Structure formats: C-alpha cells, structure tokens
Amino acid sequence: MNALPYRHTKIVFTIGPATNSVQMLSDLFSSGVDVCRFNMAHADHDWTREAILNIRAASENVGRKVALMMDVKGPEIRTGPLDEPFELERDQQFDFFLEREREPVRTGICGVRVNYPSLANDVTEGDTILVDSGLIRLRVDKVTETHIRCTVRIGGTLGSRRHINLPGVHVNLPALTAKDREDIEIGIENEIDFFALSFVRSPDDLDILRRFIEERGSKAKIIAKIEDQSAISNLEDIVKASDGLMVARGDLGIEIPFETLPLVQRRAVRTCQRLGKPVIVATHMLESMITNPLPTRAEVTDIANAVFEQADCVMLSGETTVGKYPVECVEVMNRIIDSVEAQSDRRSNDTFALKSPKALMLKSAMYLSDELPNSVIMVFTRSGYLARTLSALRPRKSPIFAFTDMPDVFQNLLMYWGVEPFQMDFANDPEDTVQEAFAQLKSRGWVESRSHVVVVSNVLAGNRVVDTIQYRSIP
C-alpha cells in the first residue's frame, strides 16, 4: 500500500451509527485516521464488540491499523426520566429531588429527581447549577435532605436525563462507576489500547483505574480527560500520573468561564510537552460539519491553532458518530494539518527535561537529523521509549519511523506526534533488521534511494548491548 502524505499531528475519530460499517471504516482508514474512539456514554457491549470486528475487517481491507481508545463514561449527574419536557422560565422556582423513586412534579413548584442523592452534601446556597450543556442555569436557594430548591436564571426546555454541571463545586462522586467497570472489562477482553477516563479530578482517580486494568493483565495506556476546575487545579499532578491528556472542551467550557478556555488549552498542551506526555485537543472541532459539507472559518482556525501548538492529536466526536459527512471531516482535517505543518516554522521542544544519558543521546539524534536535508529518524524499540521521547522532543523537520516487534507498542505509538510505527520481526543480526526496515520504508514510499537516515538502536559490543546513533543512507 502506498503511504499517505506524512503528517505529524494525529487524527482521532469517534465511531458511531454513521461510521460503524466495514465500508465506511475502510474509507476513514484510507483517509488517514489514526485512533478510533468508543464513547461508552452511548455504546452498549454488543454494539462495541460488533464495531471492533468491523474495525479489524476494515484494517485488513486497506492494510492500515488504527489504535483503539475506550472513553469511559465516568461519574456524572443527570436529571431523571421525563415523559414530557418542562418549559422553565426565568425567576421560576424549581426543585431537584434527592429521593431515588420520586416522580416529577408538574403543579405548584415543579421538580425532577437527580441520580445523585448526595448532591445536598456538595452544593450550598448561592451555587450555580447548569443543565443540558449550560443552556439552562439555576441558582441554589435552599438545600434540604430531600430536595434542592433553585431559582431559574436562564430558562429553556428541560428534557429527559439531562446532564448537570456544577461549576466550581467539588463533587464527591466515585472515580469509576459499576457501569465503567463493566465497560472496561469489555475493553480489556477486546485488547483496547487506551482508556480515557472522564471527569478526572486528581491523580487518585487515575490510580484506581490503573490498578483495575493492571490486575486484569492489560497493558493499555490511560488518558486523563480534564473537564472541570478540580482538574485544572491539579493539572500537573494529573499529567504526571497519566499516560496522556485529553482537553475535553465540551464540559470544560461549561465548568469554567468560556473566555478562559483557550488559555487552559494552551496551558494543558504546554504542560504535557514539558512532561513528555501526548495531548489530545477535543470537542466541537468541526461541529458544523455534522450537517454541512464545509467547515466554518472559525473551525478551520481552531484546528490550525491546535496544530500550531503542536498538540499530538485533534479529535472528531459527533462529526463522525452521527454526522452526514464523516469522511469529508477527516479530509478537511488533513488539508488543514498539511497546510499548517508545511508553512509553519516548527520549533523543537526545549521545555522537556531530559534526565538520562539515553534521552540526551536522542536529542543529539534529533539535532543531527534536523541539520541534514530530506532526512528521517529511524528507531528500533521494544518498549516504545525511544519513539515516545523523540516525539516529545518535537523534531523540526524529521519524521520518526519506529520499528517494533511488540504488537502493543506498535498500537500505542499510533497516537504520538510525528511517529509512524511499523511492526516487524527483528532478526538475530541487527544489520539484517536495519536493511529490512529500509526495504519497508522504500516499498511504502516513505523514503527514496540515498535519503539521509539517522538510526537509533542498540548493538552488541562483545557481551554488552550499547545504545548507538548511526548515520546511514538508503541504498
């Protein structure tokens, strides 16, 4: 198969009803997506198993694999079920009932139950409650053991099972719900590569998930989603405890003042780069293309800004789950990324602290490659460390071609900025392995004869294995 044009920034898409067919997935893979996300807030287990089978069939069709990421729903607060919606008006009083079986009230002071009976322990008089992505805003007037009485500040139509946000309020919900644990079991059973945990508030939330998957023998990596003020306050520690970060701008933009969202995004990206962790910029990137074949100019600029910031990934959500133009969305992202990456004066990442001689060696390999015209970096790795570190350093010009004989490492590296992974067996003779890698790059159109290559690997010197940088030329 011929290679797609080289792209440093990776594309995550979310699978849904609009894309869960072998043909559509084949089209998406051919268009260049790198990671497939499952949103478990909307997926049941039978559907998830079927989708994974379709993904693997599509990969066989086009000869291109993608990484699998399961987005775990996490704890959330929702209103109860309604047969008919409420029409809430400004200054109207409204109750949220805390009893589990309480029916909606439609006369006098109206109300609906919530799925979190301990809400009374978390909110106080004067707090704000946002419903349905912040479209409805209420102020807390009184808190009792049975209900929370509010005044409507911004009205609207309140439908069934609407999501509730509590900006600035620390909520004492568990990191993993019973549903999350069942979903994760399905993910482990089907060899999911990444688990993204929603509503991470502290490193402890990630530790709970990590213990859960490790006890079950999974090597999956953990992505922390930052979605509220607690996550921002603990950002540094959360990044350190995770394997990567997702800037989930949907709920985050509700939980914090919207004008601060670009600042938080930039801080999150820079924190990840300083600590050498991948970062995904997500939500509403091409929202208008759910129904329209072309993006808005603001959306083009939004994606371009994420590429200028050198985020590892940009993500599609509703655009590819229920949208009319999923393949077109990927093509639009590709065009924007290619345009920005071709024109921008890329900078290497000098904020990433290198603490080992091996890491400093990799920095030297990057500098050598950046000084050579039309050069590439080739690494051979069984843990993924060499490729991940080079990705974090952000070479200014050079692609990073990572060869591994470990399937889980190959899948993991699909998410990293600038890395194009290859899975192949390593020969007993290191030179045979290098020549086979050269042949694969040439056959796929990634390099040409006499291209400059900086090779990072280890070789046997006597009875010791030593790390090396080699300058080579494609034969």
363 is catalytic: no
Q: What span, in angstroms and rounded, lies between the C-alpha atoms of 53 and 399? A: 31
37 is catalytic: yes
Give yes or no for a contact between 438 and 470, defined as CB atoms under 8 angstroms apart: no
**Confidence (pLDDT) at 5:** 62
Q: What span, in angstroms and rounded, lies between the C-alpha atoms of 381 and 403? A: 6
Across the beta sheet with 452-461, the strand order is: 419-423, 400-404, 375-380, 452-461, 464-473
| Residue 420 C-beta-side C-alpha neighbours within 13 Å | 22
Task: Determine which one of 271, 283, 320, 404 is catalytic.
Answer: 283
Helix (H, G, I), strand (E, B) or coil at 401: strand
Helix (H, G, I), strand (E, B) or coil at 197: strand
Q: What span, in angstroms and rounded, lies between the C-alpha atoms of 260 and 192? A: 34
Domains 77-165 and 357-473 share a fold: no
| The pairing of beta strand 452-461 with beta strand 375-380 | parallel
| Nearest C-alpha neighbor of 223 from the set 260, 174, 179, 187 | 187
CATH architecture of structural domain 357-473: 3-Layer(aba) Sandwich (3.40)
The DSSP symbol for 433 reads: H
Strand partners, 11: 314
pTM for the full model?
0.93
Q: Which fold has domain 77-165?
A: M1 Pyruvate Kinase; Domain 3 (2.40.33)
Q: By 3-state DSSP, what share of the chain in percent is helix, strand and coil, each rounded to 5?
A: 35, 25, 40
Query: Would you tell me how many other CB atoms lie within 10 Å of the CB of residue 353?
Result: 8
**Confidence (pLDDT) at 60:** 97
Where do the structural domains in the chain lie, given as residue ranges? 10-74+175-343, 77-165, 357-473
- How far lies 325's CA from each of 32, 188, 322, 404, in Å? 15, 31, 9, 35
Q: Is 336 exposed, middle or buried (0-12, 13-18, 19+ CB in 10 A)?
A: buried
Single-letter code of the amino acid located at 128: T
Phi, psi of 147 (to 5 degrees): -160, 165
| Residue 78 C-beta-side C-alpha neighbours within 13 Å | 13
Place of tokens 């930039």: 266
| Residue 108 C-beta-side C-alpha neighbours within 13 Å | 4
Superfamily of domain 10-74+175-343: Phosphoenolpyruvate-binding domains (3.20.20.60)
| Nearest C-alpha neighbor of 193 from the set 226, 215, 220 | 220
Q: What span, in angstroms and rounded, lies between the C-alpha atoms of 460 and 462? A: 6
Q: What span, in angstroms and rounded, lies between the C-alpha atoms of 216 and 40? A: 20
**Confidence (pLDDT) at 4:** 54
Distance of CA 247 to the CA centre of its chain: 8
Q: What span, in angstroms and rounded, lies between the C-alpha atoms of 335 and 369? A: 26
Place of tokens 């590892």: 312
225 is catalytic: yes
Residue by residue, DSSP assigns 170-182 as -----SS-HHHHH
277 is catalytic: no
Q: What kind and span of H or E run contains 214?
A: helix 203-215
Task: Determine which one of 7, 10, 19, 37 is catalytic.
Answer: 37
**Confidence (pLDDT) at 101:** 87
Q: What is the pLDDT along the chain (475 residues), one digit of tens a residue?
A: 344 568 999 999 999 999 999 999 999 999 999 999 999 988 999 999 999 999 999 999 999 999 999 999 988 899 999 999 999 999 999 999 999 889 999 999 999 999 999 999 999 999 999 999 899 999 999 999 999 999 999 999 999 999 999 998 988 889 999 999 999 999 999 999 999 999 999 999 999 999 999 999 999 999 999 999 999 999 999 999 999 999 999 999 999 999 999 999 999 999 999 999 999 999 999 999 999 999 999 999 999 999 999 999 999 999 999 999 999 999 999 999 999 999 867 789 999 999 899 999 999 999 999 999 889 999 999 999 999 999 999 999 899 999 999 999 999 999 999 999 999 999 988 889 999 999 999 988 888 888 899 999 877 777 887 889 999 988 7
Q: What span, in angstroms and rounded, lies between the C-alpha atoms of 167 and 209? A: 25
Q: What span, in angstroms and rounded, lies between the C-alpha atoms of 96 and 75? A: 18
**Confidence (pLDDT) at 2:** 41
